[in-house]
Amino acid sequence: MSVGNHGIWFLVGLALFPRITLLLFASTPFGWLAWLGWLVAPHFLVAVLSLAYWNSHPVLVVIAWIMAFAGTGGEADTARRYSR
């Protein structure tokens, strides 16, 4: 099963483990802004990069944005819980 040029496992990896997946498997050269996004909010970086696929795969773009808000919010809650 393939979605565009990327396999389903790549997309699942981006959704669940964005930092590792982008670091190991991204073929697009990153600029300084992308590296900043990779360090600070990798879920949002994946969501922003997914916007290029809006016309061909709008459902995947919506899922990427849902994961961005849920993933970043979940990481913030976990960090707050363990920092106390």
- Ranked by mean pLDDT, the top range of 15-19, 33-37, 61-65, 71-75 is 61-65
Residue 50: closest CA among 73, 42, 71: 42
Q: Is 11 exposed, middle or buried (0-12, 13-18, 19+ CB in 10 A)?
A: buried
The whole domain housing 49 covers 2-83
Q: Percent of the chain having pLDDT more than 90?
A: 1
Tens digits of residue pLDDT in 43-56: 888 888 788 888 88
Indicate the number of domains in the chain: 1
- Region 37-48: mean pLDDT is 81
* pLDDT number for residue 31: 77
Q: How far apart are CA 34 and CA 26, in angstroms?
A: 12
Tens digits of residue pLDDT in 10-29: 777 777 788 888 788 766 66
